[in-house]
Structure 1
Amino acid sequence: MNIGHGLLANRLYVFLLAGVLFSHLATYLINPIFPIFLEKNRGFGIGQVGLILGVTSFAFQIGSLLGGFLSDRLGRRTVMMSGAVLQGTAMIGYGVSQPLAAYLAFSVVNGIGLGLFAPSVKALIVSTAGVENRTTAFSWRGIAANVGIIIAGLMITLLALEANRRVFFYASAVLFLLALLTRLTLPNDRCQGESCRRTPWRDYKQILMHRSFVLFSAVSLLIWALYAQFALVLPLRGEHVLGTTSRIGLIWTINSVVLVLMQGTISRLILERINPYFSLLAGTLLIGVGLSSLGLADRFFTLSLAAIVFIVGEMMLLPIWDSLVGYFAKEELLGAYYGISNVVTAVGSAVGAAVGGNLVEQLGGVGSRLPWIGYGVTTLFFISVLGLFVWYAKDRHGRGLPQSTSGIPILKKEKVK
């Protein structure tokens, strides 16, 4: 990846990457074992596990909207700190709770905290990196995130962290440390004084009137519904095949190592050279193939191969998606645009987790072939819908749709009225 633009010499950008690393370290101490913990230790069914994960995604919508709105008033540093503290509190709640209602309540807290943190970081990355470095900046964000995932996976494996409650306390400690580091390293950007601009609600209405962004967001719902399945089914399928949870974290570690090694090359040779919508198509296809392949995996090696296919799809998808949101956004409304885009992420993920969990359960569970066939059929349907969108965007509704994410877009940006 080309770092000649001086991104890594920018202290604020490096601090943001460190925050992304810590956030993902905490998250992936939990993700590989959370569904198994809920199923084995708390006795919840797969449908209830999907509901808990779906509630987190739904609460993420609320947090994202609040984060986008409050960042203009309280500053992004304050919003990010608040998000990390809420997530840390939720981790403690997960560790000490028993009934389903308690897990649903703490999932709300966790989702709101994540929603406050994530869009503020993305908005700061865009404003810090600049237009010409946007795709590269988000690729480096992906690398930092996966370094955190690598560390988490190694901790799970080396410390033999099974599905028990102490891992939640470790994650909580990381999140409270993240809040402290955010307070100490990021500048105070709170808007003060009579000249301070307050974002009115009518600006949010303008975003919803931005046709190209709304169309892009609508098809993104399908992508995120499919993407959300991985965190739900990999731990359950891995435990079914391997009979243990400690090695599942190692699969995430392998994925992250692959991403760290390959993301720069993929960004430089592919993402910055082709139409971004074709990248979305290719990434979605690979994600679906990876999910379906989990059903054929019968050992650690084949589970890892299926996960690697998924992660290559993620490398094609996520930097482009984040970059396109920044492309559509007005500079003064970056937080609001990323807040809305994270609502899209949350809605798709919530529907995907809740519906996916119930379908897997109805089709015989992770030991049956039927759910994995279902993922394949669903992927083909989603690819068809996305293909129609790409055709429509390119040939019928080109306004506001770029042909590349490097340099100046070939097509002019649609103005928000």
Structure 2
Amino acid sequence: MAGWWRQTGGGLPRTFWYLWASTLINRLGSFVAIYLGVYLVSVRHFDPSYAGMVIGLHGAGSALGTLLGGIVADRWGRRPAMLSGNVAAAATALGLGLTDRPVAIAALTLTLGLFLGVARPAFTATIIDVVGERDRLRALTLNYWAINIGFSVAATVAGVLIRAEPLLLFVLNAAVLLGTAALIALKVPESRPAPETVGQRDRADRGGLGTVLRDRVFLTFTALTGLIWLCIEANAMLPVALRADGLPASAYGPVIAVNGLMIVAGQLFVPRLIARFDRSRTIAVAAVVIGAGFAVTAMADTILLYGLSVLVWTLGEMMMTPANSALTADLSPAAQRGRYQGVYSLGYAFASFAGPTVGGLVTSRFGDTVLWLGLGGLALLVALGNLLAGPARTRQIEGLRAPAPDPARPVPAPV
């Protein structure tokens, strides 16, 4: 075990571990995002349609925030983006807990999503800045592991808090955000690459999104990532499928718990399994595994089979997530990492909205079996897309790794 841990977590810089601790603390207190819908319906007694709209505003704010945060991280620095995002989000979360006016709740929820989004691209860009290329897959996997541990604990604690004193959801969430900001302020130095260390093309960059939006290789990768996350997010329809098979509503808890338990227990073993393989091929294999999981869901009619289906697609998710994160880092120019992270996050923002929406429409019109088989087919198309896109990604990565020409060195005259 000692040797395995050295290979999994050894050799990473101290700054990374402060960032890892920040992630864990932040996610341990992410009560508002988890229980906002329950709070609005059960505590404030709003209509479910209003609650759904407010949750959608949180997602929209997060999408806008990641774009803004990427620009801030590249233009002014990683620390300004992380500190301003967390402090402003803390104040917004506290205000959200103190108001009961529908318009104010909607506006503050949108703002909360925006500020939380501002901090995220800078956070991931800092990990990429401080961790060497050889160790990034391990580092990003450890960060994803911390996210899932924090989420699992927060979901349990939030259920207790909302029954005891709902305002504590917002007060403790604000305190955790301030604690995250304090840890970053004290222990995480600025890591944005200095202008003299980047290539000539990066020095000419004006700090906008144009460079990212003209990068067809990266945009294709982001679109494919969004589609596979859409498949996973469509699992919001799993309780409907359980009910259609005559299973109790309480069955959803142990079935979906397989996902969190597997990630917490097994995610740290993934880097050693996939590190030596090409990223695009790894993602393609992961998409096939995810599609196979949905095929099992289509055939499931017992709690055991539904649990097996979650186990299968979770294996694919565990392979895909660190490979996706590492490939994002590989495809991003050093001076534009924040903006590339911001645009990449749009794929997940799209999926978090489109997955449940498409899943609900398909289930209501054609039934859940068509939904699961359709998601399995879509996952196979994503796998094919990643295989076809692999050569172009390899060329772009090799171009980014090539040393920039020295403008001070004269070009030899042709013979």
Judge conservation of contact 1:88–1:171 (CA < 8 Å) in 2.
Answer: yes
Instruction: Write out per-residue CA displacement over residues 75-127 of structure 1, whole angstroms, 9 at most, x where no aligned residue.
Output: 21221122222332343344344455434322321221221111111111111
User: What residue is the counterpart of 2:410 in the other structure?
Assistant: none
1:149–1:56 CA distance, 2 compared to 1 (3 A)? same
- Greater alpha carbon shift after TM alignment, 102-111 vs 38-47: 38-47
The 1:47/1:401 distance shift into structure 2, 3 A limit, reads farther
> Any conservation in 1 of the 2:294–2:376 contact (CA below 8 Å)?
no
Q: CA 1:5 to 1:302, structure 2 compared with 1: closer, same or farther past 3 Å?
A: closer
- Which of 20, 23, 31 matches 1:20? 23
* 1:7-406 correspondence runs (5 A): 9-27=12-30, 29-43=31-45, 48-98=50-100, 100-156=102-158, 161=163, 164-188=166-190, 200-201=205-206, 204-230=209-235, 241-242=248-249, 255-269=259-273, 271-284=274-287, 287=290, 289=293, 293=297, 307-353=310-356, 355-356=357-358, 359=361, 363=364, 370=367, 372-394=368-390, 398-401=391-394
After superposition, the Cα gap between the structure-2 partners of 1:72 and 1:296, relative to the gap in structure 1 and judged at 3 Å, is same
> What is the TM-score with the length of structure 2 in the denominator?
0.77
Q: 1:112 to 1:235 in 2, by over 3 A?
A: farther
Bigger helix share: 2
Q: Which ranges of structure 1 fall in alignment gaps of 5 or more residues?
A: 403-408
8 Å Cα contact 1:35/1:235 also seen in 2: no
In structure 2, the CA distance between the partners of 1:229 and 1:133, relative to structure 1 (3 Å rule), is same
Compared with structure 1, are the counterparts of its residues 392 and 257 closer, same or farther at alpha carbon in structure 2 (3 Å cutoff)?
Answer: closer
Deviations along 1:189-218, whole A, 9 cap, x unmatched? 689999999884476322222221122122
- Deviation string, structure 1 residues 32-54 (Cα, Å, up to 9, x no partner): 53333344444556655443333
Describe the superposition over 1:100-156 as per-residue Cα deviations: whole angstroms up to 9, x where unpaired.
Answer: 543432232122122111111111111111111121111111122223224324534
Partner of 2:408: none
Q: Secondary structure at the match of 1:273?
A: coil
**Alpha-carbon offset, residue 281 of structure 1:** 3.7
Point out the more displaced range, 218-227 or 46-55. 46-55
Any idea what SS the aligned residue of 1:33 has? helix
2:189 alignment partner, SS class = coil
Query: Which of the residues 386, 398, 408 maps onto 1:412?
Result: 398
Q: Is the 8 A contact 1:21 1:148 kept in 2?
A: yes
Deviation at residue 376 of structure 1 after TM alignment = 0.6
> In 2, Cα distance between the equivalents of 1:95 and 1:297?
41
The farther-off stretch of 196-205 and 150-159 is 196-205
Query: Match for 2:209: what amino acid?
Result: Y
Matched residue pairs, number? 393
Structure 2 spans left out of the alignment, 5+ residues: 405-415
DSSP-derived class of the 2:277 partner:
coil
Q: Decide whether the 8 Å contact of 2:294 with 2:373 is kept in 1.
A: no
Greater Cα radius of gyration, structure 1 or 2: 2
Q: Percent identity?
A: 23
Amino acid in the other structure paired with 1:363: S
Q: Distance in 2 between matches of 1:295 and 1:89?
A: 48
Q: Given that residues 84 and 176 in structure 1 are in contact (C-alpha distance below 8 angstroms), is that contact kept between their aligned partners in structure 2?
A: yes
1:327 alignment partner, SS class: helix
Equivalent-residue separation in structure 2 for 1:328 and 1:129 (angstroms): 16
Amino acid paired to 1:37: Y
Note if contact 1:60-1:115 (Cα within 8 Å) is conserved in structure 2. Answer: yes
1:286/1:83 Cα in 2 relative to 1: closer, same or farther (>3 Å)?
farther
Alpha-carbon contact 1:223-1:284 (below 8 Å) kept: yes
Question: Which SS does the other structure have where 2:398 is aligned?
Answer: coil
Give distance in 1, aligned partners of 2:181 and 2:117: 15
Aligned match of 2:413: none
The higher-RCO structure (CA 8 Å, 6+ apart) is 1
Q: How many Å separate the matches in 2 of 1:229 and 1:163?
A: 32
Distance in 2 separating the partners of 1:41 and 1:158: 14
Assess, with a 3 A threshold, how the Cα gap between structure 1 residues 135 and 412 changes in structure 2: closer, same or farther.
Answer: same
Which residue identity does 2:134 align to in structure 1? E
Q: For 1:263 and 1:193, locate their aligned partners in 2 and report how far apart those are by CA, in whole Å.
A: 36
Moved more, 326-335 or 142-151: 142-151
Would the aligned equivalents of 2:148 and 2:263 in 1 still touch at CA under 8 Å?
yes
> Aligned partners of 1:73, 1:135: CA distance in 2, in Å?
26
CA RMSD of superposed structures (Å) = 4.3
Q: Any idea what the Cα deviations from partners look like across 1:326-348, whole Å, max 9, x if unmatched? A: 11111122112112212333233
Q: Is the 8 A contact 1:155 1:161 kept in 2?
A: no
**d(CA) in 2 for partners of 1:298, 1:242:** 13
CA contact (8 A) 1:17 1:144 kept: yes
